[in-house]
Structure 1
Amino acid sequence: MGEILYLILIDPFVQMAELPDFFLQVLWEGFVSGILYALIALGFVLIFKASGVFNFAQGIMVVFAALSLVGLYEAGVPAFLALALCVLIMLGLALGVERLVLRPLVNQPDIILFMATIGLTYFLIGLGEFIFGGEPKVMITEELLLPTGSYAWEVMGGLVIFQQIDIAAAVIAVVLMTALGLFFQNTRIGRALRAVADDHQAALSVGISLNQIWAIVWFAAGIVALATGIMWGARSDVSFALQIVALKALPVLVLGGLTSVPGAIVGGLIIGVGEKIGEIYWGSMIGGGIEGWLAYFIALAFLLVRPQGLFGERIIERV
């Protein structure tokens, strides 16, 4: 029993102290994953704040956007023109969802809207497979002028390797989240979004168009999905398996709160760093592979303590 407790409670920390450079490497990789998880979660937050809809389709939007980019390039479209066309595709998707899904279902129960996003998920899967096929594709990283080399940092008697694509992914994610945060915090559209999030009926009474706001936030979520698809695709292949990675946003939302942009960032970092440390230092004790489920375990444990998340609003209903 004592040996087991030592392996669980003491030995991992001894390993961190003995190889601090390796520990820094693990922290960096967890940080990059966490930033990208936060970027995915941001798409969920934007849509939920504006419409109260939990968009189950956000994961497949990431895949569809990345496949559209690579597919257009393979069809002979120059890389940056393909990127611009993908922005227009996300705009068309946002307008289509608002017109064909949200508008007919306005004032319906939340579960109906949630089921509609599940239907949208499978529609995009079928459409994506029909147009692009089911084979994994290689992201056009160099064509988009994204860096592909690496840096080595000598520290604490060892080396920490920073992949340039990871640095670019972190920088782009931070810039995009900051820009969206400032846009929705300091612009007229942002104030309208906050009004809609607080009270749909009150927003309507002062002349705010729900349809316009919904189209805008779905378009913003589409841009987030496009950026996420490019970054994840550059780190691996572009395939439908990416939607499984996108579902890591669910525990991020549990930790940060469904309505909080800062919560999405903090929750993403907790999940990204936590699962990477757990996999490296505790994974071998239970057979490895815990990176696939540890995030959900962390979220479940957190739900027992603070169900509304770190930055979520506590809602008290009197009955």
Structure 2
Amino acid sequence: MAFFIETLFGGLMVGMLYALVALGFVLIFKASGVFNFAQGAMVLFAALAMARLAEWIPQWTGISNPVFANVAAFAGAGVLMFVLAACIERLVLRHLVNQEGATLLMATLGIAYFLDGLGQTLFGSNIYQINIGMPKDPVFLFESVFEGGVLINQEDLIAACIAAALVLALSLFFQKTATGRALRAVADDHQAAQSIGIPLSRIWVIVWCVAGVVALVAGMIWGSKLGVQFSLATVALRALPVVILGGLTSVPGAIFGGLLIGVGEKLSEVYLGPFVGGGIEIWFAYVLALVVLLVRPQGLFGEKIIDRV
């Protein structure tokens, strides 16, 4: 039983990180109605910015305190993501208002390749580390309940709590604030939103800024776990089934989808992997997403779209 709970906890913690990355996709889609293929590049760019700034700030300031360096690096990377969001809106999105979804999709692909190149030019292409002080040693919990206790990775637990707090804050933002409702209105119909006085350019800047912060937090966590390297951009591919499963327009769907896939990957690999030679964790999420697409194309929490002619 203790081993099952360890596997379950591990899946839930990884699932929260999947949900955090998937949330970036959902935010952009809710505001622009287009799937943002640049989300993985944004995660990588933000992680590179924080890792390199954490190295450079002590050299620039002469202050070697690691806490100061990390806080300043996070703030600097956040400002950089805000500037990037404003540039994307002014140079790209502003010229594509009311264009077809395929046009916007291709624009995000171009942004992704641009960010990959810009990140390498500004910050280099080596493997960098982000050390934000999260403990990496596992601990045993519930020793009085289960013999030997349940082994939990402290870093995964803290990362999952950070992701959960950010997801909760964004959920409240969308549901309880006027800006959040404006974002949903823009996603439904650009022209209608503009006709009632919603400034489309400002809304897009806001949502790309928020998505940039989400990418920064995701990049910080994944960079701390895996190191900052260009393969980090592929983490976004792991979040694609989460978005498909939960629905492109649903923040709760991204949370539920991430948790479901995280737990499903771990349990299937541990309990079914030995019977099929292993490797289930690699393709489980994609097969599950395919099954959901066949039964409910809009996802478990997505809105069903009915076209009347």
The TM tier, using the shorter chain, reads over 0.9
Q: CA deviation at 1:235?
A: 1.7
Q: SS of 1:76's equivalent? A: helix
Q: CA deviation at 1:89?
A: 0.6
Q: Does residue 296 in structure 1 map to residue 296 in structure 2?
A: no
**TM-score normalised over the length of structure 1:** 0.89
1:141·1:147 contact (CA, 8 Å) conserved in 2? no
1:139 is matched with: 130
> Which letter does structure 2 place at the counterpart of 1:151?
V
Distance 1:270 1:204 in 2: 37
1:15 is matched with: none
Distance 2:41 2:70 in 1: 22
2:57·2:73 contact (CA, 8 Å) conserved in 1? no
2:11 is matched with: 30
1:91 aligned residue (82, 86, 89)? 82
Q: CA deviation at 1:192?
A: 1.3
Q: SS of 2:131's equivalent? A: coil
Q: How many residues align?
A: 297
> Which letter does structure 1 place at the counterpart of 2:235?
V
Q: Does residue 73 in structure 1 map to residue 54 in structure 2?
A: yes
2:63 is matched with: none
1:170 is matched with: 160
Within 5 Å, which residues of 2 pair with 1:169-248? 169-248=159-238
2:20 is matched with: 39
**TM-score normalised over the length of structure 2:** 0.92
Q: SS of 1:23's equivalent? A: helix
Q: Does residue 21 in structure 1 map to residue 2 in structure 2?
A: yes
Q: SS of 2:150's equivalent? A: strand
Deviations 1:16-41 (A, max 9, x none): xxxx1111111111101100111111
1:60·1:121 contact (CA, 8 Å) conserved in 2? yes
> Which letter does structure 2 place at the counterpart of 1:237?
G
1:151 is matched with: 139
> What stretches of structure 1 of length at least 5 have no aligned partner?
1-19
> Which letter does structure 2 place at the counterpart of 1:74?
E
Q: Does residue 107 in structure 1 map to residue 107 in structure 2?
A: no
265-274 or 69-78, larger mean C-alpha shift: 69-78
2:43 is matched with: 62
Q: SS of 1:157's equivalent? A: coil
238-247 or 282-291, larger mean C-alpha shift: 282-291
Q: SS of 2:307's equivalent? A: coil
Q: Report the identity percentage.
A: 58
Q: CA deviation at 1:183?
A: 1.7
Distance 2:206 2:84 in 1: 11
> What stretches of structure 2 of length at least 5 have no aligned partner?
59-68
> Which letter does structure 2 place at the counterpart of 1:125?
D
Q: CA deviation at 1:243?
A: 1.6
Q: CA deviation at 1:171?
A: 1.1
